[in-house]
Structure 1
Amino acid sequence: MQTIVKILFGLIVFGLSCLSPSASAQEKAAYFQKPTIAFSGFLDVYYGFDFNQPPDSHRPDFLFNHHRHNAVDINLGLLQAHVDGGKYQANLGLMVGTYPQQNLAHEPEWLRNIFAANVGIALIQDDRLWLDVGIFESHIGFESALSADNWTLTRSLVAENSPYYLAGAKLTWNPSTQWQLAALMVNGWQRIQRVSGSTLPSFGTQTTYTFSENARLNWSTFIGTDDPDKTRRMRYFSNSYGQFQLTEKIGLIAGIDVGFQQTAKGRSDHDVWFGTVLIARYAFSKTWAMAVRGEYYRDNTEVIVTTEQMEGFETAGFSANIDYNAHKNVFCRLEIRWLKSSNAIFAKNTTMSHNNVLLIGSIALRF
């Protein structure tokens, strides 16, 4: 931990050293200008009916959003404050709902309502290099915890089973308007607090190339562990996706996840998991749109997805949703989703099923 602190301190000193005596008064003042504070919020209220009617009213544990069956509930209620000081910034977000209850269940109770808590500083004068430290959204994937930012109401299997958030330090460099590069040192695979008994930080990278406002490619990685030192198995993960606006009305997103983890400490063989998703969206108008999604996820040794049968996880799915934007900040959505697994992993009354069908509606408000 002391090494991490020294590295971060050195980077901050480097950024402040750019304010040499020869720097203009305007450049120096930019670091100490009076900050502005902006507040925002988000609320996603939903009702979902799982046709398997699980006995405990909870949907499968590998689905972290919209987790309740046959109940009106809050998936995510979020209040955020953003401080902009020109050459520095800070974010604090506090949340409630079934999403944080499910997704942060492994964190200490006092941390489970934190959506974001980070500070950042520009390390060079042209603002192209930033260091952010704290709790922040993950660099992996194209789907946010905020449903209004996504093309589908529910999240894909690849999104639900890769990190939504990380804690540590992130260095972001924008060498041009088209390229963005990032390097991360974090506490682990979706961890605010590091796993007990682990002293090894985890690392990540992100490379984004934006061809135009209509086309973008992204590649993100994670290298680290989710084990204590005594049983440490190294994990290597790659997430790639492309997002394309083919016409004014038609959009397409395609993503692939591949992960490897040592079968045991010191072993050269690895367990492998794989996932892919394809989403097509059609906008009828400024207020009406629809999207369809096909997806597949395989984790034969259950590195990421754990089922009650422990026979491996292999699931394909299809969904279709219709969206109505009653106002620029109000999002009304209806979705039907079908999942089919190679094993009977879905609770159905007192039995288990290979299939799962969900009908869900949501009204979300951004303010």
Structure 2
Amino acid sequence: MKPFVYVMLTTACAAATLPCWAQTTTDTTIVTTTTPTPPANGGLTISGYAEAYYTHDFTAPKTSQERPGFLYNHKRNREININLAFLKAAYSAERVRANLAIQVGTYAQYNYAAEQPLLRNVFEANAGVKLSKSRDLWLDAGIFGSHIGFESAISKDCWTLTRSLVAENSPYYLSGAKLTYNTPNGKWTLLGSVVNGWQRIAKLPGYSGPALSTQVQYKPNANVVLNWSTFLGSDRPDSLKQTRFYNNVYAILNSNRKVSAILGFDIGADRKPVDSNNQRFGTGSYVWYSPVAIVRYSISDALKLAGRVEYYDDKNGVIIATGTPNGFKTWGYSLNVDYFILPSAVFRIEGKLYNSQDAIFESTSNLSRTNTSLTTSLAVSF
């Protein structure tokens, strides 16, 4: 722990002294986006993103090349690698739109491992049509980013360098069809979708599906976002009769240009399965949940700090199986420093500590209850 704390303090102080004369933009919005907005009169837009990273796991043995199994971003240990890089083509006209993005990187390698080989490099592929001439009502179908959660795989668009536990263990992408309606005043977004499953392009073998997912988002003003997203379906074969109901709730608050906060709470439940005789293993459901809080402080347009506290409780091992008496009950703490070299380029450094109730982390001597790491990245978008 002492070397870790020393490195954290040193890097934070060094980052705080970086010059802030680089080209910057004023950050007055709550949520940023990497993909350029298509031209108002329609047309084809080409964009791209690349994030190189290095992660040093202080707890894991020197020969261990991977971070813990419940992480999918910045996965490789003690080596320089690419987390995510993609090239995207977006077409937009008055009443049609389409997106295609091809990806590479360790994020795709680990998070898409269960998909068909030819689809593992598809970050996004969808087509949409506007159903009304006067209303902002769209029908889109294909593979698209998940509306569940406030974080995505595009690190540059997130307040923290690495993803939260709840983001790593809920859908980053969905495949299916969705209806999206935005009210004329821009305050409400309503979404309903039929999808192939819980982060599935191809359906899980033995699952007939489909699953349903919704989103209700309210923006009363430019400084507040309130969101409730759901998933109803299963991530188990039909024979087990395990219905899953998942709720994702969060608020993004930006009271002034200096301090912003994200407060989130996710809770899911899988109904207990049946055995070969169609008898359930008890009544009720297996429940897991995760609260998270992130606070970001903008020193300047170029320099920002963010701290995160999170907890993930999955005692029955529905999402994260540990095989230990208490299951996965883990606190997470992180602090990151972001320096925007240019509006399209950011250097980031983050220290993270996990503290679990059981010894679940690989270490130099048996297993450990804690895990510490330091991650740096350089992300560029165009």
Same fold by TM-score, threshold 0.5 exceeded?
yes
Q: Is the 8 A contact 2:326 2:357 kept in 1?
A: no
Is the counterpart of residue 270 in structure 1 residue 298 in structure 2? no
Is the counterpart of residue 289 in structure 1 residue 304 in structure 2? yes
Deviations 1:21-54 (A, max 9, x none): xxxxxxxxxxxx9951111000000011000134
Shift of 1:126: 2.0
Q: Tell me, what secondary structure is at the counterpart of 1:100?
A: helix
Shift of 1:111: 1.1
Is the counterpart of residue 172 in structure 1 residue 190 in structure 2? no
> Matches of residues 43-58 of structure 1 in structure 2 within 5 Å?
43-54=50-61, 55-58=63-66
Shift of 1:311: 4.9
> Matches of residues 1-367 of structure 1 in structure 2 within 5 Å?
36-54=43-61, 55-176=63-184, 177-265=186-274, 267=280, 268-307=283-322, 309=324, 311-349=326-364, 351-367=366-382
Q: Is the 8 A contact 2:246 2:268 kept in 1?
A: yes
Q: Tell me, what secondary structure is at the counterpart of 1:195?
A: coil
Deviations 1:134-189 (A, max 9, x none): 00000100001100000000000111111000000010011331011000100000
Q: Tell me, what secondary structure is at the counterpart of 1:359?
A: strand
Q: Which runs of 4+ in 1 moved over 6 A?
A: none
Q: TM-score, normalised by structure 1?
A: 0.89
Matched length: 335
Identity, in percent, stands at 44
CA distance in 1 between partners of 2:285 and 2:257 (Å): 44
Deviations 1:300-329 (A, max 9, x none): 001011226475100001100011000000
2:292 partner amino acid = V
Q: Is the 8 A contact 2:166 2:312 kept in 1?
A: yes
CA distance in 1 between partners of 2:273 and 2:350 (Å): 41
Shift of 1:349: 2.7
Partner of 2:16: none
Shift of 1:123: 0.4
Partner of 2:6: none
CA distance in 1 between partners of 2:94 and 2:325 (Å): 51
Q: TM-score, normalised by structure 2?
A: 0.85
Deviations 1:311-355 (A, max 9, x none): 510000110001100000001001000000111111113521110
Shift of 1:294: 0.3
CA distance in 1 between partners of 2:100 and 2:323 (Å): 37
Shift of 1:115: 0.5
CA distance in 2 between partners of 1:279 and 1:34 (Å): 38
Q: Is the 8 A contact 1:302 1:310 kept in 2?
A: no
Structure 2 gap segments, 5+ residues each: 1-39
Partner of 2:3: none
CA distance in 2 between partners of 1:134 and 1:295 (Å): 32
Deviations 1:189-239 (A, max 9, x none): 000000112212000110000011111100000000112222231000000
**More moved, 260-269 vs 226-235:** 260-269
Q: Is the 8 A contact 1:308 1:345 kept in 2?
A: no
Structure 1 gap segments, 5+ residues each: 1-32
Q: Is the 8 A contact 2:176 2:194 kept in 1?
A: yes
